[in-house]
Amino acid sequence: MVSGGCAVHRNIACDMCDACTVGIIGERFRLIGADYDLCPAHFVSLPNTQKDLYEVISAPGATPRIYVVRNTQPNLLSPGHVVRADIFPTDGPEPAVVGWEKELRELREMGFLGQDEECKKLLAMNGGDAMNVVKKLIAKERAENAAEKAAAEVAEAEEQQKVVDLVEMGFQEDLALAALVAAAGEVKVAVESLMMAERAQAGA
């Protein structure tokens, strides 16, 4: 898609701003090996040591090209302007891609296994500071564990309340609990099975 003569990468949002609601306009800068994209306005704000870690996608479906930092300073434009990337020349050797291998190895050694994509994204956002990434990963894991514990406690309380409700209807607690388990927690189904059992016993 093209808007005002510029390519629009629909549904590809910039990971550093909320301005690209439709998608990144102009060139898309993608962190190599990770699901992390920047719009032109935010890409130019990165230090040159990080720009080498990105590839440029000029338009949707175009072949990605490795970005090469030149000695000349690019013009820093305000958000919304399109910035042309100074990309790898076609008549020279392809530069070596600098990655986060050292930092990723350290993170794996600290127990963060199988999280390379998330770690790469956090490293890019934190300028390669592995210790800061560790703090964020630990905080996230603790928050997730706390949320899971809270959800489990709520679910347990709800199940206990269902048993209390059935007991207040006059059913025995052990029978009520067994009926709820068999009914996958559905109170109506549990009541139906308990009443069927009660009627069958009364008619015996």
pLDDT in tens, 123-135: 888 888 899 999 9
Average pLDDT over residues 26-55: 88
State whether residue 25 is helix, strand or coil.
strand
> Residue 84, Cα to own-chain centre: how many angstroms?
29
Contact predicate 103/34, CB 8 Å: no
Q: Which residues contact 52 (CB under 8 A, 6 or more apart)?
A: 67, 68, 69, 95, 97, 98
Q: pTM here? A: 0.47
Closest alpha carbon to 82 in 7, 16, 31: 7
For position 199, what pLDDT does the model report?
A: 92
Compute the average pLDDT of residues 97-105: 76
- Is residue 119 within 8 A of residue 100, CB to CB? The reply is yes
- Pair 7, 39: CB distance under 8 Å: no
Report which secondary-structure segment, H or E, holds 132: helix 130-168
**172 falls in which pLDDT band (50, 70, 90)?**
very high
